[in-house]
Amino acid sequence: MTLDYTKLDGLVPAVIQDHESGRVLMVGFMNDEAFRKTVETGFATFYSRSRNKLWLKGESSGHRLVVKEISTDCDQDTVLVKVEAIGPGVCHEGYQSCFFRVLRNGEWNVSESQVYDPKEVYGGGSK
């Protein structure tokens, strides 16, 4: 279950993909503890670089990510986690995916509608 955490100061990027639609929902970072928690609990757990602590996705919103499959790349310095997303959206801004801005003619354009009201879920607070 070894991963190479040396390239990013103890972290690996974790790509979160919907296991049915294939949509990429978000990218977070995991340290070894977060990765092990993810495997052991079956819920995606990250290391928050801004808060410097483990972060169980959905701990405040309830929008947890249920792990379906985990793979790693050739260099074993990145993980891909296929999940079932509980709740309408993964993004704390109210969208299904964090990747809701598409590049068109050199500008980032919001390409879809919110699926929930983040103020109701987060109360204006953190992720």
Q: Shortest distance, CB of residue 1 to a second copy, whole angstroms? A: 5
Compare residues 59 and 92 and give the one whose CB is closer to a second copy. 92
Cα separation, 94 vs 30, whole angstroms: 23
103 scored as a contact of a second copy (CB under 8 A): yes
- Per CB under 8 A, 113 contacts a second copy: no
**What does the alpha-carbon distance between residue 2 and residue 14 come to, in Å, rounded to a whole number?**
15
Q: How many residues does the chain have?
A: 127
Using rule CB under 8 A, residue 116 touches a second copy: no
Cα separation, 7 vs 104, whole angstroms: 32
Asked if 22 interacts with a second copy (CB under 8 A), we say: yes
126 binds a second copy (CB under 8 A): no
